[in-house]
Amino acid sequence: MRQFSEREVELLGSGWEWLQFDFMRLAFLAILLITPLFGILGTMIVGRKMAFFSDALGHSALTGIALGVVLGAADPSLAMILFAIGFALLLNRISSKNASSTDTVISVFSSCSIAVGLAILSKGGNFSKYSGLLVGDILSVTPRELVYLAVILAVTLLFWICCGNWLEALSLHRALAKSRRIPVTALEYVFAVLVALIVMLSIKWVGILIINALLILPAASSRNISQNLREYHFFSLVFALFSGILGLIISYYTNVATGPMIVIVASLIYFATYLYGKKIA
C-alpha cells in the first residue's frame, strides 16, 4: 500500500479526500470549466426557445461519429464536429423558413440522423464500443482537454459579452431587432454554430443522453425565480456550478456515473425553485 503524503492525510480528515486522486482533480477542474459554460449558454438557448434544437444537435453526434467511421477517418471527432455544424446550419435554415412546424421538422431530422448513426455503428455488433458516448465520462478528462475546454469557455464568454444584448433583442422581436440594424441572420447562424461546437466538444464527458439536461436545467431553474436579466444569468451560473460540484462529490461517494448525478442535483434545484417561485408569485 502506498504511503499518503501529509497533505493527503490532511485531506482525508477534512471531507475533501476525493481531491487526492489526479483524475478527480482533473474532473473537478473540468466541472469548473464546463458548468459555467453550460450555465451561460443555457440562458441564451432557453431565451431563444431552442431547447429542442440543442437536443437534436446532441443526438446528431452519433451520426457524425458514424460518418467518420464510414469515411475511415483516424479521429471520428472531426467528422462529428463538421457534421454537427452542417446539421446546425440546416436546422437553423429550416427554423427561419418554416415557422409553424419547426419542432416537428427538427424532430424528424433528429430521429432520422440518430437512426442512421445507430444503424452504421451497430453494424457487425460493434455498438458497445461507442456506448460510452451515450452517458459520457468526465473522469476521463486529460490536461490537454482541459485546455480545449478553457478555450471554448473563453470564446463563449466573448460571444456573451459582445452579442448577448443582440441575441436577447432578437428573441424579443425579430423585425424590431432588424429595424435597429442588428445583423439578425448572421447572429442566428453564428449562435447555431457556437451551440453545435460546444455540444460536440463536451459530449465526450457529458454524454448524448444528458447533455441537453445540463444545458437547459440551470437556466430553466433560474427563470423560476428571476425578475430581470441580471438575476437570470447570475442564478443560472450559480446553479450550474453548484450542481456540477455537488454531483461530482456525490458520485464519488456513491459510485454512480457523474453526469447523471449532476443532472439529478440540477433537477432537484429546478423543482425547489419552481415551488419557491410559485410561493412568491
Partner 1 sequence: MRKIIGPCGLHCIKVQHLGVRIGQQEILKDINLHIHCGSLNAIVGPNGAGKSTLIRAILGDLPHSGVIEFRDTGNGRLTRMRVGYVPQSLNIDKDTPVSVYDMIACYQSRFPVFLKKSRRVRERILEALRSFEAEELLDKQVCNLSGGELQRVLLSMAIMDEPHLLLLDEPVSGIDQKGMGLFYRTIYHLKENYDLAVVLISHDLDYVARYADKVILLSEGTIQKQGLAKEVYGSPEFAAVFGEGGGAVG
* Interface residue list for partner 1 (CB under 8 A): 43, 160-161, 164-166, 168-169, 171-180, 182, 222-224, 226-233, 277
Q: CB of 279: closest distance to partner 1 in angstroms?
A: 14
In the bound state with partner 1, the residue whose beta carbon lies nearer, of 71 and 281, is 281
Question: What three-state secondary structure class fits 16?
Answer: coil
In the bound state with partner 1, the residue whose beta carbon lies nearer, of 60 and 226, is 226
DSSP state letters, 207-265: -TTTHHHHHHHHHHHHHHH-SSHHHHHHHHHHHHHHHHHHHHHHHHHHT--HHHHHHHH
Which amino acid type is present at position 89? L
Q: How far apart are CA 38 and CA 116, in angstroms?
A: 28
Q: CB of 69: closest distance to partner 1 in angstroms?
A: 40
CB contact at 8 A, 184 and 178: yes
Q: How far apart are CA 206 and CA 210, in angstroms?
A: 7
In the bound state with partner 1, the residue whose beta carbon lies nearer, of 134 and 155, is 155
Rounded to whole angstroms, the maximal C-alpha distance in the chain is: 70
Q: CB of 195: closest distance to partner 1 in angstroms?
A: 18
In the bound state with partner 1, the residue whose beta carbon lies nearer, of 112 and 176, is 176
Q: CB of 206: closest distance to partner 1 in angstroms?
A: 24
In the bound state with partner 1, the residue whose beta carbon lies nearer, of 80 and 182, is 182
Q: CB of 143: closest distance to partner 1 in angstroms?
A: 31
